[in-house]
Amino acid sequence: MSVKNIAILFSGNGSNLEAILNKVHNKTFGNTTIKCTLCISNKPDAYGIIRAKKFELDTIIIENKNFKTREDFDKALVDEIQKYDIDLVVLAGFMRILTPVFTSQIKAINLHPSILPLFKGAHAIKESFQSEMMVGGVSVHMVSEELDGGKIIAQETFKREKNMSLEKWEEKTHSLEHEILPQSIINLLTE
């Protein structure tokens, strides 16, 4: 029996954090138990902090605004993560572009609300909805220096419905996110 430790980084609502904690934290898959050992947020008022507390997990706050450069912030993240025996870092709505200070030292995955390589960046849901694409979806990828450009490890899609609203598109996207991210963690840590 082995134990694999994950760190989850988030900036906001924390719905993906909660999906991971519900489906993965302290659960055993085959011969592997997965534990969330570390939660970090760059926002002291992120609702995800309250969600983590439901699982008796404290969140470490490292505010990017307290650092002069992206590299200084990333170094603080790396220093904190390296205090723990972390097997995988999961970015779950962590709204920061990470520099090589982070990406060269930390094995991490990110969830993105589009079918990459299409619609990179912060407005992916709206851009994919406004496109002529007949499908929407989500991607999980390895974190690299390039924004939303790391190796894709999982993707799921849904079909555009007739007269579909942006709200329904977002709902379908988030529903897929809550399935694909926990499953990707399981797949990566139990291979």
Q: What is the dihedral of CA 44, 46, 48, 49, to 10 degrees?
A: 20
Residue 51 assigned ligand-binding role: no
15 is in an annotated binding site: yes
Question: β-strands 152-159, 59-61: how paired?
Answer: unpaired
* CATH number of the domain to which 133 belongs: 3.40.50.170
Domain extent for 138: 2-190
- Per-residue pLDDT for the chain (191 aa), expressed as one digit of tens each? 999 999 999 999 999 999 999 999 999 999 999 999 999 999 999 999 999 999 999 999 999 999 999 999 999 999 999 999 999 999 999 999 899 999 999 999 999 999 999 999 989 999 999 999 999 999 999 999 888 899 999 999 999 999 999 999 999 999 999 999 999 999 999 97
In DSSP terms, 39 is beta-bridged to 8, 59
The catalytic site residues sit at: 112
Bridge-based pairing of strands 59-61 and 2-10 is unpaired
pTM of the model: 0.95
Domain count, the chain: 1
Q: Is 5 annotated as a binding residue?
A: no
Q: What are phi and psi of 93, to 5 degrees?
A: 75, 35
Beta strands (DSSP E) in the chain are 2-10, 27-29, 32-41, 59-61, 88-91, 108-112, 135-142, 152-159
Strands 135-142 and 108-112: antiparallel
Query: 86-95, pLDDT tens digit by residue?
Result: 999 999 999 9
